[in-house]
Every structure is written in C-alpha cells, then in structure tokens.
Chains A and B, each alone.
Chain A
Amino acid sequence: MSPLKIKKGANSHSAYNLRPNFSDVEERHTLALLVENEPGVLARVIGLFAGRGYNIDSLTVAEVDHIGHLSRITIVTRGTPQVIEQIKAQVGRIISVRDVHDLTVEGASVERELAMFKVTGTGDKRVEALRLADIFRANVVDSTLSSFVFEITGAPEKIDAFAELMRPLGLADVARTGVAALSRGE
C-alpha cells in the first residue's frame, strides 16, 4: 500500500486506514460528529445506526456554536475495525454532518460524563455513602434525612465504579448524561 496520509479530522479517511481490518475483535470507539443544528439531524444519525444495525453505547448532543448553527454529537459505539470504518463512512455521507472525528484513533482525548445518584437509607449505610462520595469527589446536591442525591463527574469507568459501590448502600435511581469528549492538546 502507498503511504497514504490520514489527515486529522478528514471524514473521508476510512478507506485509507492502514490497520488490518479483518480482526473479529470488537473495539470501543468514541466518535465526535459536528452536525448542522436543524430539525431531524439527530434522527438522521440514530436512524442510520438503527437501520444498519450499529451499536450505540452512549450518545450526547447539544448545540456548540449558536451563530454557526452547529451541534456536537458524541457517540460511543463498538464494532470490529471494519464496522467502525463503515460507521464513520456512512455517518460522513449524511449531508447534515459536517465532520466526523474518531477520538479513539486520532491521538489522545479526554472523556467525561456527569451522573446523578439517588441513595436512600439511614444509619451506617448513609454515613458510608457520604464518605465514599467524598472520596470520589461527588457533590451532594440534595439531601433529606433518609436520602442523598450525589452529582459526580468523571470518565465513564469512574462513574461505573461509584455506581457499584452505591448499589449495596441503597442506590435508588441513576441519571447519566452519556460521554462528552474532546481531543487533547491543540
């Protein structure tokens, strides 16, 4: 193969990906899509995932450029390398999608997620929940005599770990935002 340059952020680099793609091993990839903020754009993206049988582990969307009418959709998906390449190419084909970034292969990136946990109980369990929340730097955003609502921010793994710890301590409800991610550096 010719040494083809993969331009960072080029949404057409899929065919030039040099990694062997006959692997059957599923990979987890975080994709960041810059899309035109117009009615139905999210339906176009998730409709494509549903229609072609791709996975969505997590999805977040919000407007990021009000003047330019641009929204950012962060999707965590999984599939074999060939499927991941197809996903990027297919998403890149949607007219309203301006740019597709695969943060998992385009260098280092940071991922954060916000979650809220409602933990109910009294006595030792309640004290233990509060102690652990402190260790995890979770904030108490609501409290009654028999419940807390914790707010926690971090990488998805950290939130998973916190959830596991809260479960035996009276975990009653969870709300997670899904992953927001940015590449590191300039």
Chain B
Amino acid sequence: MTRQMTGAKMIVQALIDQGVDTVFGYPGGAVLPIYDEIFQQNSIKHVLVRHEQGAVHAAEGYARSTGKPGVALVTSGPGATNAVTGLTDALMDSIPIIVLTGQVPTFMIGSDAFQEADTVGITRPCTKHNWLVKETDKLSGVIHEAFHIATSGRPGPVLVDIPKDVQFAKGEYTPKAPSKSHYKPQLKGDMDAIVELVEAIEKAKRPVFYTGGGVINSGPAASQLLRELVGATGFPITSTLMGLGCYPASGDKWLGMLGMHGTYEANMAMHGCDLMINIGARFDDRITGVVDKFSPNSKKAHIDIDPSSINKVIRVDIPIMGDVGHVLEDLLKVWKSRGRKTNTASVAKWWKQLEEWRAVNCLKFEQKGKVIKPQYALTRLEELTKKYDRYITTEVGQHQMWAAQYLGFEDPNRWMTSGGLGTMGYGFPASIGVQMAHPDALVINVAGEASWLMNMQELGTAMQYKLPVKQFILNNERLGMVRQWQELLHGERYSSSWSESLPDFVKLAEAFGAKGILCSDPDDLDDAIMEMITYDGPVLFDCLVEKHENCFPMIPSGKAHNEMIMGEVDTSTAIDAAGKLLV
C-alpha cells in the first residue's frame, strides 16, 4: 500500500510508523514544513529545546534510558552544525539516534545560500551513516533505513538531510517493511571460538570478566545472561564506565569500575588475571593505561559486534565477533552441556587475593569539618535516593568519576554519561531526555558547576515541559579535573581552571521559575537532598564542596594498572615526561 503525500508529512508518518513518541528539536527556516505537520498531529510529542546541542543530547538520554532510538530535528546551517557535538558523542558511545536536518532547497545547494552548510560533508565522520535526500519518492524509504542502521549492529547516530523543496513536494510513501538493506551485521558468534572460550573458562585460575557498554546496548536480556554466567561461574566482574548497571553493584562478585579512576581491586584483577573475558568493551585508553604493560600474563577473549574493535588496541587470543546477548546464550549453553566446570580451588584462591585488595578500601574518605566532601555528598545522595525508581546522568569531570565510584547501579539503562567523547554539557539535556521517557522516575544529573553552565539554557526546556529533573551540582568553583591535572602535571599552575564570576545558582533557578537549594554544611545535606527529591519540579541543587579535592584512585598517564596513585600521597613523581604527553 502506498500513498501520495508531501515530504514533510512523510517524515512525520515515517516517525509514527517507527514507533517514535518524542522528538527533540528546534525549528528554523529549512524545517518549517515539517514543523507545520508536527503542529497538525497528536501522535508525536515535540520537545522544544533551547539549543540544538541540547536536542541531540536529550535524544541520547532518551535512547540510553529506553533502549529505543532517540530522534532530534533541527534546521539547516547552524542548526546542523550545533548538532555535531551530540552526533560525535553518540558515535563514540554507540548510541542509536536519528537526527533530521533541514537543508536549503536542492536548486540552491552549493550557492552559499542563507543558512546553508554541507551537512552531510560535515557529519560524515561523526555519524554511522548519513543521507542527503534529493527526491521525495525516496524520503520515507531512507528514513526507515536510517532507523535500521542506527539500531542494528553496533548502534550509532545517523543523519538525514532533507532540502526544503523535498519537504514541500509530493511523493509516494513507502511504509515500514523488513529492511532489504545490505547492512546485516553478524549476530551469532563463531562456535569454534565460543568452545575455545569455554575451555579457557574451565581451566582459568585467575579469571575476570571485563564488561562494557556493549552489554547494555545488546538489551536487557544480555545483562540477564551475564548475571547468570557470573553467578554460575563465580568469577569476579568489573565494568567500564559505559557498562555500569549490567551487573548489579550490590552483587558479591562485583569489583567496581575499572580504569583510570577505577577501584584498586578491579585494576589489580585486570593486571593479575590469567584469563580476561572482555564482553562488549573496547580496550579504551582510559581502561588499559599504558598498552605495553596492560595485563601482561593473561589470555584475552573479546566479544564484540564490531570487527574493527577487535585487535585495534590490544591483541587478543580468542576473538568472538557477534552480539553480546547471542554469544552469551551460546556460551552458557556450551559451558553447561560440558558439565559447568571451573577450576574451583584456584578460583577460590584468586578470590582470597581479591578480598585482600578489596580490604584496601580504596574509596575510603573522611568527612570531617564543616566543608562537604564531594564523596560524602554522593554517598548521601546514594543512600537517600537508591530506593527510588532512579536514573542518573552526569556531566564530565571529577564529579562524573565520583558518581561512578560512589553511586550503585543495579540495572542497565539507569546510568547515562558521556564516556568516549567526554562532553561537558551532556548531562543536563540528557536528563531532560530521560525524564521525557520516564515521567514518573527520579532523574538526577550529577554535575559540576562548570559543565552545567555549558548547557544551562535547557532550564527553560525543563520548565516548559514541567520536567522535575534534579540538577545536583558539586560546586568546587573550579574545573576540578583540569585543576587536578594541573596540580599533578603542571606544577600547580592553575591556568584558567578557576570558575570565576559564577552565578548565584539559587537566584538563577528562580529566574527561570525553578527551585534553587544551596547547601554548604554537611549537617544540612540530608535534609537538603530530601527537599530536592520531594519538590515537584526542576531543582538546581548548589552543593558547595571542598575546592581542592582530588579524584583517587588514579592510574597516572603512562603507567600500568598496578601503579595506581591511591590518595593524597606525594604525587609529584607519579607521572614521567612520557606520561605528560598523554591526555
């Protein structure tokens, strides 16, 4: 069944057919026909953001908290270029989003028309795929294909650039149908390799599961299978920043996050293991530390849906290409059918070692005096909010690492943070996207004051749509992570890392009609957090914290997992000249 309609109507129809209920966007000249169609229907809710970057991050937040693709709609030229940061962020973190951009009419392309930009050219390296649609007849087919590509295989952002004349012209609508695309990623893993991994699991003396965002992206079933596998084998498990929640933080096999600011036990386990099972992670440089010294004595298995992730950074012994869920299902089947064997005695000995490392209690801190320690603030936030239906987003910096360390995630899709790109300004719009998808949930953005200011205009969006997002700002009046690096690496010369002329956040909140809470006394913190939670509306929580607190443990640049800095020791010699070069 096909129907004649305008391109603009086609776009809305295709979104409805794809099950889209929310679009984040900002209008402009080149998308007016689409906005006209949105005005005349009730199936899709449009959220007017205050900046296009916010639209894309909101779509990311929506996608990560639901597992469904997020959709953003922006105009040509500056609308499209403002979307670039969000697209790159989604590419790095493998988040399925569809960005629709308006374009000047086809007959004006290339003439430097008003608000013209080479959108597909600019976004080619920061999308999984993109299209410029020049014929209305092809428009709906391309949009359906865009959803297929964004959501299958390793997910990612896609962009469809639609000239204004294509939106006005009439054409034939192609309904959603099973994709005829050549893009069909391999989901099942190679059985020989899976058997090889099972054999390694049976023999391993010091195994560790190293999990990542791929488990979350594979869907809730993958997390369930992972939990079953960890429970049945009794092997310890750690996760990257992106994978938090795929195994519950309260689980007894949980070692905490690994990597640059990961726990001592997780990093020591990675360094000392004899079998590393990488499930949906990518050996990112924040994880490996210096590659030459990375886990020197282990056999490494790597399950990943993206062939280019395998052997990119670390040479692995057992590569398994496939979807995490599919591979784990087969892995469990094979392992069970061979008698559920593990090297119990050796693994028990390994656990004894792990318990010793755990006993170091690397995340310990002391809250003394009248200044709030950021770690204390997060510990209290965790305690007071964990019983809620809770979603956490973050900005980027020290607060992000502390949130990863001190908050516990029991389920996947509850933790939205900019991992790969490290985008300051991500968290606030992302929290808006999450709240749109989960209107009754408690959505908290753990922020630093500097990051938060980068997209503060979205407070208008939160107010307009009555989204009770809680902005929990750990305010140290510093670019905390920059300052920490300057302390450790640049002789305490704090070049431009002071947030001077900060606004009064309470007054700022009130200017938008939101609620502002200031808290500077540890004794008031619990009451203030409860006030934030119970308030029905957006809250800006200005939590004044210790200004020069450093984030530890830390693997200094150029060092290995077993060379962590544990705390406020003499850090001046921790990083050598080669390490200084690294970011």
Contact = CB atoms under 8 A, between A and B. Distances in A.
Interface of A: 1-4, 11-12, 14-16, 21-22, 36, 39-40, 43-44, 47-48, 51, 82, 85-86, 89-90, 92-93, 95-96, 98
B308 A82 contact: no
Dominant secondary structure of chain B at its interface with chain A: mixed
B124 A14 contact: no
B186 A12 contact: yes
Given A15-B321, A21-B315, A43-B121, A93 B308 contact: yes
Interface in B187-227: 190, 192-193, 195-196
Interface residues of B, number: 28
Contact of B307 (A2, A14, A21, A36): A14
Interface of B: 120-121, 124-125, 128-129, 132, 149, 182-183, 186, 190, 192-193, 195-196, 306-308, 310-312, 315-319, 321
Contacts of B149: 95
Nearest to B196: A2
B308 A40 contact: no
Max chain B Cβ within 10 angstroms of own Cβ: one of A3, A21, A36, A89: A89
Contacts of A12: 186, 307, 321
Given A2-B192, A4-B192, A89 B125 contact: no
Max chain A Cβ within 10 angstroms of own Cβ: one of B183, B316, B321: B321
Given A2-B192, A4-B190, A43-B121, A85 B311 contact: yes
A69 to B, nearest CB: 11
A36 B181 CA distance: 12
A90 B311 contact: no
Contacts of B306: 93
Contacts of B182: 36, 98
Contacts of B318: 1
Given A2-B193, A90-B308, A96-B129, 10 more contacts: A1-B317, A1-B318, A4-B190, A11-B307, A14-B308, A15-B321, A22-B315, A40-B120, A40-B121, A93-B306
9 contacts: A1-B318, A14-B311, A21-B315, A90-B308, A93-B306, A95-B128, A95-B129, A95-B149, A98-B182
Nearest to A22: B315
Contacts of A85: 311
Contacts of A39: 132
B327 to A, nearest CB: 13
Contacts of B120: 40
A47 to B, nearest CB: 6
A21 B193 CA distance: 19
